[in-house]
């Protein structure tokens, strides 16, 4: 049977630069679908496009309105192709109205000098040493991920007692296991719980406004990771007047940075 994630990002060519898709109940969120699958579907439209060259190095998704359950259409248009990079404009519509806009940059990577300045926190236990987080009380999409939080960095309980940081550290993979690729990595980059939930230890109405992901991995590195857990690290930098940001990193289990991601989120008191 196809993996639920592959069904959630499944697209059918609809002529020109257009593709038809639909939301999937397994990735339902509090309102509409999990934003990670929306972004992954938009990226998939470029990956499936006959004019695409190279692999993704950046994806930005702007959520213009909540996406309803049901069918949608994605239009992915190449804006410019250079020697090594290709720039895309992406638009997702539903019932004739724009629900999300975005852009993507693809590139043909060449082997060069490489280095990683970001550093992992010390003493990270392996995923096998931690228990999977309970999915009770969470939206459906949470059950599609096997999340194992490090001690002291779990998303709950909601006590209402504000803490002095919004840091999360956890291992995560698709559930059931699925080999990592660019769409699933893009979705994982949105699976971090809202920073305001972590900081204030209580729920609040929220909505991601814009999400940008930078892909540091290439296809061989993703293939090397397979279907094992990846490590997610996230924190908020600022909470102010109804909006907060989040910066996050995703690492392989052998210490390679796979992606970094940044988003701005609306919240309501």
Cis peptide before 121 (omega within 30 of 0): no
pLDDT in tens, 178-218: 999 999 999 999 999 999 999 999 999 999 999 999 999 99
Asked if the model's pLDDT at residue 34 lies above 90, the reply is yes
**Residue 121: which of 152, 143, 94, 99 has the closest Cα?**
152
Nearest to 107 by CA among 53, 186, 162, 28: 53
**Per-residue model confidence (pLDDT) at position 188:** 98
Q: Read off the pLDDT of residues 100-159 as tens digits, 9 standing for 90 and up.
A: 999 999 999 999 999 999 999 999 999 999 999 999 989 999 999 999 999 989 888 899
Q: Is 236 exposed, middle or buried (0-12, 13-18, 19+ CB in 10 A)?
A: buried
Write the CA distances from 54 to 11, 84, 87, 166, 219, integer angstroms.
20, 8, 11, 36, 10
Q: Domains in the chain and their CATH numbers?
A: 4-108+130-267 (2.40.160.210)
- 3-state SS, residue 11: coil
Q: How confident is the model at residue 1 (pLDDT cuts 50, 70, 90)?
A: confident
pLDDT score for 139: 95
Q: What pLDDT, on the 0 to 100 scale, is given for residue 174?
A: 98
Average predicted confidence (pLDDT) for the chain: 96
Averaged over 39-46, what is the pLDDT? Answer: 98
């Amino acid at each position: 049977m196809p993996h639920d994630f592959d069904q959630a990002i499944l697209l059918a060519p609809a002529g020109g630069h257009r593709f038809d898709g639909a939301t999937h109940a397994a990735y339902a969120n509090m309102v509409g679908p999990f934003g990670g699958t929306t972004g992954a579907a938009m990226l998939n439209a470029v990956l499936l496009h006959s004019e695409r060259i190279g692999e993704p190095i950046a994806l930005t998704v702007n959520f213009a309105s909540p996406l309803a359950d049901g069918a949608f259409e994605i239009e992915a248009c190449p804006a410019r192709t250079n020697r090594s990079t290709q720039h895309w404009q992406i638009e997702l519509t539903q019932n004739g109205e724009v629900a999300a806009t975005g852009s993507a940059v693809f590139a043909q990577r060449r082997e060069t000098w490489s280095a990683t300045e970001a550093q992992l926190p010390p003493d990270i236990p392996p995923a096998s040493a931690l228990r999977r987080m309970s999915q009770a009380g969470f939206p459906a999409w949470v059950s599609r991920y096997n999340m194992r939080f490090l001690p002291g960095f779990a998303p709950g309980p909601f006590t209402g007692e504000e803490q002095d940081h919004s840091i999360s550290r956890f291992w995560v993979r698709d559930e059931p296991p699925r080999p990592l690729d660019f769409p699933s990595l893009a979705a994982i980059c949105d699976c971090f719980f809202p920073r305001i939930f972590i900081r204030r230890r209580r729920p609040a109405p929220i909505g991601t406004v814009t999400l940008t992901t930078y892909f540091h991995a290439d296809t061989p590195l993703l293939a090397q990771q397979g279907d094992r857990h990846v490590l997610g690290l996230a924190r908020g930098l600022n909470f102010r007047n109804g909006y907060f940001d989040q910066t996050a990193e995703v690492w392989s289990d052998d210490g390679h940075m796979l992606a970094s991601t940044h988003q701005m989120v609306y919240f309501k008191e």
